[in-house]
Amino acid sequence: MLQCEISIILIIFVVYFLRVHRLYANFFIHYNHVYCTNSTNIECVRLTHVF
């Protein structure tokens, strides 16, 4: 019984985390895009494509 509850909590946490992460990723890409347009930093461009 406890194992089942832990599984449900984990699934909810993962879904919630992915949703929040997507929100932060969109913000990060937008912020990085503004930053990247002013420079030709390959690291910056590579970071943007991670998400």
Encoded tokens for 18? 């992915």
Specify if 42 maps to a domain: yes
For 8-51, the pLDDT digits (tens) are: 888 888 888 877 777 777 766 666 655 555 555 555 555 555 44
Q: Considering only CA atoms, give the Rg of the chain.
A: 17
Count how many domains the chain has: 1
Specify if 11 maps to a domain: no
Specify if 43 maps to a domain: yes
Query: Which residue range forms the structural domain that includes residue 39?
Result: 21-51
The structure's pTM equals: 0.39
